[in-house]
Copies of this chain bind each other. A is one copy, B any other.
Amino acid sequence: MSQFADRLIDATRRLGPLCVGIDPHASRIPELFGGDTPSGLAAWGMALVDMARGRVAAVKPQVGLFERHGPEGMAALQAVARRAMKAGLIVIMDAKRGDIGSTAEGYAAAYLAEDAPFPSDCLTVNPYMGLDTLEPFLKRAEAHGKGLAVLARTSNPGSADFQALMPDSQPLWAHVATALTAASERLMGATGWSSLMLVAGATGPDEARRLRELAPRALFLVPGYGAQGAGAAEALAGFVAGPQGLEGGLVNASRSVTFPVAAQEAAGFSEWQLAIGQAIDAAQADLKKATQT
């Protein structure tokens, strides 16, 4: 059984660190896919998967933007996730779930089981409720070679409200990272990277460097690059030297690569494809260049 961390690092060495975020914002799904309807979300998401294939290591569907359409929206999410798995893309399911044991088992079954209805390689989870609430996810990850991405320092303006509080002279996000050391060891891959990822926002490069010191073997999931304002160098702040340049995780871009102006103005499908392909390639090239400095 291959480990998530090994699959991820292999794919990023080949293709670069870009992860395409599949975030179906209500007002932005092009009419050519059917607009903001469950079938529109499925068609648009699957077309994005096809464009991401061979260009990037991973895609990251944003569950909340599918969930707003109810069971039919979740069926669209399922269709997108299945297509991405089939395409050999790594699927980072951005659900930010977290709950006590028996309910956490439910979420783990939904996303990380071998026969999960929403097939995923890795699930984002929220640590607030404590380490025991992460255990059911860890067990699934261990059993099936999957990954977990635990929120540490997020990219939003309000992330400091609680994450930057300083118990014992360390920010909360540092406590979270430190508390995960044993879990990180349990998910260690052959490449020396762990399948326990940390979410380390690109809008906080200093924090990312500090997180790297605290968790030297954790792959980072870096949101905030592109539309949220951070550049490639900031996004890679927590990356380290590897055989093909800087490595150590995924940098997510959503709006900048899935809703570029040229795609929103596209008259037809082939024009849309061209615009999306160019936007993905440009973001990947920008990041890859920064891995070589």
Contact = CB atoms under 8 A, between A and B. Distances in A.
A162 B106 contact: no
B70 A110 contact: yes
Contact of A106 (B62, B103, B104): B62
A167 B172 contact: yes
Contact of A166 (B131, B163, B167): B167
Contact of A156 (B71, B126, B130, B166): B130
B70 A131 contact: no
A80 to B, nearest CB: 12
A31 to B, nearest CB: 20
Contact of A155 (B64, B96, B100, B110): B100
A142 interface: no
A62 to B, nearest CB: 5
A261 interface: no
Contact of A23 (B102, B161, B163): B102
Given A62-B106, A117-B71, A156-B130, A179 B161 contact: yes
A132 interface: yes
A128 B130 contact: no
A253 to B, nearest CB: 14
A279 to B, nearest CB: 19
Interface residues of A, number: 61
Contact of A154 (B25, B106, B129, B161): B129
Interface string A113-141: 00001100000001111111100000000
A233 interface: no
A74 interface: yes
B107 A68 contact: yes
A144 interface: no
A127 B172 CA distance: 13
A118 B25 CA distance: 19
**Chain copies in complex:** 2
A17 interface: no
A107 B162 contact: no
B176 A106 contact: no
Contacts of A94: 99, 103
B161 A131 contact: yes
24 contacts: A23-B102, A64-B97, A64-B104, A65-B102, A65-B103, A68-B105, A70-B74, A70-B78, A70-B117, A71-B71, A71-B74, A73-B110, A94-B103, A96-B97, A96-B99, A101-B156, A126-B126, A129-B159, A130-B157, A130-B162, A131-B158, A132-B157, A132-B158, A172-B172
Interface of A: 23, 25, 62, 64-75, 78, 94, 96-107, 109-110, 117-118, 126-133, 151, 154-163, 165-168, 172, 175-176, 179, 223
Given A70-B110, A126-B129, 17 more contacts: A64-B97, A64-B110, A65-B103, A67-B106, A68-B106, A68-B110, A71-B71, A73-B110, A73-B117, A96-B97, A96-B98, A100-B155, A126-B128, A127-B128, A130-B157, A131-B161, A165-B167
